[in-house]
Amino acid sequence: TDNMVGYAMSNHLVNKVVVGADRIVQDGVINKIGTYVIAVLARVHDIPFYVAAPKSTCDLDRKSEEAAIEERSPEEVTHFGGQRTTPKGICVLNPAFDITPMKYVKAIVCEDGALSPSEVENST
């Protein structure tokens, strides 16, 4: 499950991480929520973290601060099967994506092979 990443890494059940990317910008990788946490845990456990994405995903003229992170419907958290499962009036934060800083990325795997973040910038 999503929450067993730390367990798996700390018990040496993972030797590398490969994730996708919705967008790669100058200073980070925009991907589904939870990617950033996995990258941080990989760094803590000295596990290489790779991003596999086509070069068409790269938008290296932009920085992460320019990205609009989609906020999903609060009902995805507060309801199940059409029924409210939480008290009314609670505040829900439900982003669909997060941004993983490039410092956590060992390489980006694309059509040209496994490239360091700086090599990707020079090849696009």
Token representation of residue 10: 């700390």
| Element of type H or E holding 117 | helix 117-123
Cα 114 to Cα 65: distance, rounded to the nearest angstrom: 26
φ, ψ dihedrals at 101, nearest 5°? -60, 145
Instruction: For the chain, 124 residues long, give each residue's pLDDT as a single digit of tens.
Output: 678 999 999 999 999 999 999 999 999 999 999 999 999 999 999 999 999 999 999 999 999 999 889 999 999 999 999 999 999 999 999 999 999 999 999 999 999 899 888 888 777 6
Active site residues: 22
Handedness of CA 97, 102, 103, 104 (dihedral sign): positive
CATH superfamily membership of 2-119: Translation initiation factor eif-2b; domain 2 (3.40.50.10470)
